[in-house]
Amino acid sequence: QKEVEQDPGPLSVPEGAIVSLNCTYSNSAFQYFMWYRQYSRKGPELLMYTYSSGNKEDGRFTAQVDKSSKYISLFIRDSQPSDSATYLCAMNYFGNEKLTFGTGTRLTIIP
Amino acid sequence: DGGITQSPKYLFRKEGQNVTLSCEQNLNHDAMYWYRQDPGQGLRLIYYSQIVNDFQKGDIAEGYSVSREKKESFPLTVTSAQKNPTAFYLCASSIAGGLSGELFFGEGSRLTVL
């Protein structure tokens, strides 16, 4: 079993819809949770960063962490065609030098 | 502008040839990383380096080699011993080890073995 599981998709939704992207993990030591966005043929860029359980909002994006269920989510409101990309979750814990990534979910927003 | 520069962007090589991918950063970051990305497998860590003249193997180091002679540079050599080298290679850096979680990535190098 992988430490981090992420549905690879692809996921297609109409413009303006709310998108929900999710990851589950097995290592209870994880305490830092990230979402990266990767456009086609580009490197990933950090989108959201959260520590421990709870919600964090940044514009149309909300990151949610539920440590009791070992489950993290990224919500995109009012989705735009420019949100079409692959979204990778990543996580880490104190003292560890390496991030653990999910496989990524490929998202397409249909105009 | 600060950032990470990878070159070449596209590279073709014949089987049995070694190839070196360049990665340069001007962010003054201590840590640098090489990842490999294959469809459906996410990012897999090849090598990483926390300081100059020191580096550690990641999860899939076999068939690869690196050096870290300068803080700014972390080249990756894909050797002929790598059984399946065709992939998208990503270099990244961070201020310090993965604790902060913020990796800055280059635009990648796509290697195709013919």
Tens-place pLDDT, residues B46-85: 999 999 999 999 999 999 999 999 999 999 999 988 889 9
- Residue B96 CB coordination number (10 Å): 11
Instruction: Give percent above pLDDT 90 in chain A.
Output: 82
- Tell me the torsion sign for CA atoms B99, A95, B106, B29: positive
Q: Do B101 and A49 touch (CB under 8 A)?
A: yes
B2: Cα within 13 Å, side-chain hemisphere: 8
The C-alpha atoms of residue B78 and residue A63 are separated, in whole angstroms, by 37
For position B99, what pLDDT does the model report? 58
The C-alpha atoms of residue B79 and residue B77 are separated, in whole angstroms, by 6
Chain B residue with CA closest to A9: the answer is B40
**Cβ contacts (< 8 Å) between A87 and chain B: which residues?**
none
Which residues of chain A have a Cβ shorter than 8 Å from any chain B Cβ? 6, 8, 32, 34, 36, 41-46, 49, 88, 90, 92, 94-99, 101-104
For position B114, what pLDDT does the model report? 86
Q: Do A92 and B101 touch (CB under 8 A)?
A: yes
Chain A residue with CA closest to B50: the answer is A97
For position B100, what pLDDT does the model report? 62
Residues contacting A78, CB < 8 A, separation 6+: A16, A18, A60
Chain B residue with CA closest to A34: the answer is B101
For position A1, what pLDDT does the model report? 73
For position B91, what pLDDT does the model report? 97
For position A39, what pLDDT does the model report? 96
Name the residue among B2, B5, B23, B19 with its Cα closest to residue B74: B23
For position A94, what pLDDT does the model report? 81
Residue of A46, A90, A103 with shortest CB distance to B40:
A103
DSSP string, B42-88: EEEEEEEEEETTEEEE-TT-TTEEE--SBTTB--EEE-TT-S---EE
Query: Is residue A20 very low, low, confident or very high in pLDDT (cuts 50, 70, 90)?
Result: very high
Contact criterion met (CB below 8 Å) for A6 and A23: yes
The C-alpha atoms of residue B4 and residue B72 are separated, in whole angstroms, by 9
Average pLDDT for chain B: 92
Upstream peptide bond of A44 is cis (omega within 30 degrees of 0):
no
Q: What is the pLDDT of residues A28-49, one digit of tens each?
A: 999 999 999 999 989 999 999 9
Any A CB within 8 A of B62 CB: no
Q: Give, as one character, the DSSP assignment of residue B22.
A: E
* Token representation of residue A38: 């990767």
* Residue to test with chain B: of A38, A45, A96, A99, most B Cβ within 10 A: A99
**Cβ contacts (< 8 Å) between A98 and chain B: which residues?**
45, 48, 58, 98
The C-alpha atoms of residue B114 and residue B103 are separated, in whole angstroms, by 32
